[in-house]
Structure 1
Amino acid sequence: MERLSLDQICKEAAGARDVPELRAFRDRMHGEFQRHLLFASPLEWNRDANAFHDAVIRRVIELSEQDYAAAHGAAPLPYAFLLFGSGGRGEQTLWSDQDNGLIYADPATPDEEAAAEGYFKGLAEKISLSLELAGYPPCSGNVICTNAKWRKSVTAYRQTIAGWLQEPDWENVRYLLIAADLRTVYGDPAFGEAVAEEFHAYVAAHPSMLEHLLHNTLHHKVSLGLFGQLIKERYGEDAGGVDVKYGAYIPIVNGIRLLAIEAGIRSTSTEERTLALIRGGHVEEEIGHDWLEALNLAFKLRSMTPYQIIDGRYNSRGKLTAEQLTKERISELKLCLRIGIELQKYVKRSVHHELEKGQ
């Protein structure tokens, strides 16, 4: 960062003595990052902001681990903490919520398994509560380490992924796409990599899975009408505004993720996935750079959406207000959305072409 020393910021987060101190530091840094957005490219800003989030989250986990171990002893098995959603992609806004999981080494005996389940259930509750105190609200979709679905041993995680793959109904495919963005933020990365391998190896061996993944991928439509008009919110306090998260950012993220899965690319960052698609010759350079331009704009606009602090936790509906839709913003938004529409068409053609090859 030009105006901020990112290394110094991350070191200060890592040195926080407790969660309240860490929360106060996070609050101060929000203003710094919002000012820095005026001077940095959104892609660069996103990388820096997410390095900061990672440092805060890691310190929350360390402090929670220390407190829990003081009362309940050391962890019975090695474990890792996973991020999903925007956290897994390294694309959190300053007010993102918790999308996370906990994974631990395989127990050797039934007694060890019971001990591990009990210990990590308690530790997950401690970490999640501490993250809330640090300002991260729990995931509204319950993709969180306190949910047993997202807290398992390595083998149990892999078995869960395998079950979803073998029964690819809408809900299971939704879970698979969530898991496709997993990233280890704390602990042994090999645990998360084993889960990712279960998913990627199956899709590589069964290309027909791409059809199931495609339906979910194209579920969120770009917020641009047939005649090039913005599709705006019609009712409520957001009336006249535009949903940047689900109308622009998510369609871009989803489309590039599926192309990366199809190409066997393991990166979880949308920027890194796009660059890997270009390097691997999976997409023409000019088209890939159009996608990066749309992603850059989506990051910028998403970071401008209003947020609130509710019960001490950061929240945002991910929508630009009617007042924010200046001539310049509308021009940027329409460019982003037009590229998003072309991306969705590209994804559909690419998957259908891949399926035809396999017939």
Structure 2
Amino acid sequence: MTLANTGDMVIPNYCNLSACARQHPTKAAPLTLSPEQIERIRQVNSFAELALIRHELLDPSPMRDLNRAGEMAPFSIVVNLIHDNLIRQGVLLAVDSLAKRGLGTPPVPFAFLQFGSGGRFEQAIISDQDNGLVYDLPDHLNEQEIEAVHGYFQLLAAAVVSGLEEAGYPPCQGNVTCLSPRWRGSVAQWVDQLDRWISHPVWENARYLLLASDVRVLYGESAIFTPVLDRFRQLLAGNTFLLDRLVSNTLHYRVPLGLFGRVLPEVTGRFRGAVNIKYGIYLPIVNCVRHFALAHGIFASSTLERLGQLAEKGVWSKSFCDEVAAHFRLIQGLRLIAFLHWEDGLYTSNSYIKLSKLSPDSAVSMREAMKLAIRLQKMTAKLPSSFKG
């Protein structure tokens, strides 16, 4: 889990923009993010405009000749910085839209949360919404005032989710957005919910806990979420039963590697001849690293941060952590290549790699990453028993 104070609560005065600057923006270089481009994002005054700049900044077409995972991997950081700036501006636009409609401004401090790949700072070029809201309720508020606060953030959540969808970020199919009361609430509501999930770690609640473990504050008052994080750490510490439930929740992902190291692509349907890089390699590694991190009191959000701390604590050797990190970076490169294999703009296509389009060295790298993922899954399956003994 990562806290990042990413800005103040002041809504920019978009009206100060010159009309000329809005109508004739400088063409941004694809997959780069300069200070000037960041300023352009901050000057956007509509979600339609945000969609245009998202398409421009995340246009990978000039990278078409870079079909090797190693060549694409370094761009992952830039892609995620672009997403962060776009989504952060989307939150500001939503706040501003409520004010312009006469619905007020944030009545109490709040924080906008990212879960999933956004929380881990590991988004691909096309990404969906996995987000939440948390806000601070002062003790002196009466019942009517408390209801008014809840009502405001319900409206804000609706504005954020619909606006980001217009900007090119579809809501998560699992309903992990701040529009759901499950992912929106006061600090006390979040803590109570964590208690319920951990007290009854059925499959669905275990899934929610895993999502919560990847949280990152993208915008707002970082300190607001600290009590929730502290409670999570307190409840997880030494809880071997919960660890077992979390592990069993994720080991069902099958790595598509058969006997003698043969890659097993899809055999029917639209993705015939392709491999699901997200569910077949990326998430198995993410999940295994996360489990070892949580089991050893490591609460960083990103996979690479977790690997660094696993090495520092001596949980895994530095050489093994470096090996996993190297494979993970190549997988991130493959996830960027996937977009170029389909070019249909669909979120589902973002996960599939066409084997016929992979360079020979990328195909070898993918196969080795699959072997590593299987090895990690075997290690993770034994993790709960190692704590019981």
TM-score for both structures, normalised by structure 2: 0.85
Output the CA distance in 2 between the equivalents of 1:79 and 1:33.
38
Residue in structure 2 matching 1:91, options 122, 129, 132: 122
Matching of residues 46-61 of structure 1 within 5 Å: 46-61=76-91
Output the CA distance in 2 between the equivalents of 1:102 and 1:50.
20
Give deviations 1:216-249, integer Å, cap 9, x for gaps.
Answer: 1312122212432112112101112111000000
Please say which of residues 32-41 and 194-203 is displaced more in the overlay: 32-41
Please say which of residues 250-259 and 41-50 is displaced more in the overlay: 41-50
- How many residues end up aligned between the 2 structures? 353
Other-structure match for 2:57: 29
Cα distance change, pair 229–315 in 1 and its aligned pair in 2 (3 A): closer
Cα distance change, pair 307–347 in 1 and its aligned pair in 2 (3 A): farther
Cα distance change, pair 42–277 in 1 and its aligned pair in 2 (3 A): farther
Once the two structures are TM-superposed, the CA of residue 2 in structure 1 deviates from its matched residue by 12
Contact 1:239–1:322 under 8 Å retained in 2: no
Matching of residues 259-298 of structure 1 within 5 Å: 259-298=292-331
Other-structure match for 2:44: 16
Pair 1:213 & 2:246 matched: yes
Is there any run of 5+ residues in structure 2 with no aligned partner, and where? 1-28
Residue in structure 2 matching 1:7, options 35, 49, 54: 35
Give deviations 1:8-36, integer Å, cap 9, x for gaps.
Answer: 33232122232222221111112258639
Output the CA distance in 2 between the equivalents of 1:34 and 1:68.
38
Cα distance change, pair 199–226 in 1 and its aligned pair in 2 (3 A): farther
Other-structure match for 1:147: 180
Once the two structures are TM-superposed, the CA of residue 195 in structure 1 deviates from its matched residue by 2.1
Report the AA paired with residue 30 of structure 1. Answer: L
Once the two structures are TM-superposed, the CA of residue 252 in structure 1 deviates from its matched residue by 0.5
Please say which of residues 87-96 and 109-118 is displaced more in the overlay: 109-118
Residue in structure 2 matching 1:308, options 344, 367, 384: 344
Matching of residues 49-88 of structure 1 within 5 Å: 49-71=79-101, 72-88=103-119
Structure 1 segments of 4 or more deviating over 6 A? none
Once the two structures are TM-superposed, the CA of residue 136 in structure 1 deviates from its matched residue by 0.3
Residue in structure 2 matching 1:199, options 219, 229, 232: 232
TM-score for both structures, normalised by structure 1: 0.92
Once the two structures are TM-superposed, the CA of residue 43 in structure 1 deviates from its matched residue by 5.0
Pair 1:175 & 2:208 matched: yes
Match of 1:95, SS? coil
Cα distance change, pair 197–307 in 1 and its aligned pair in 2 (3 A): farther
Q: CA RMSD in A?
A: 2.3
Report the AA paired with residue 268 of structure 1. Answer: S
Q: Identity rate of aligned residues, in percent?
A: 34
Is there any run of 5+ residues in structure 1 with no aligned partner, and where? none
Cα distance change, pair 315–23 in 1 and its aligned pair in 2 (3 A): farther
Match of 1:320, SS? strand
Output the CA distance in 2 between the equivalents of 1:28 and 1:106.
40
Structure with higher RCO (Cα < 8 A, 6+ apart): 2
Give deviations 1:97-133, integer Å, cap 9, x for gaps.
Answer: 0011111112533212211121111111111111011
Output the CA distance in 2 between the equivalents of 1:165 and 1:323.
45
Other-structure match for 1:321: 354
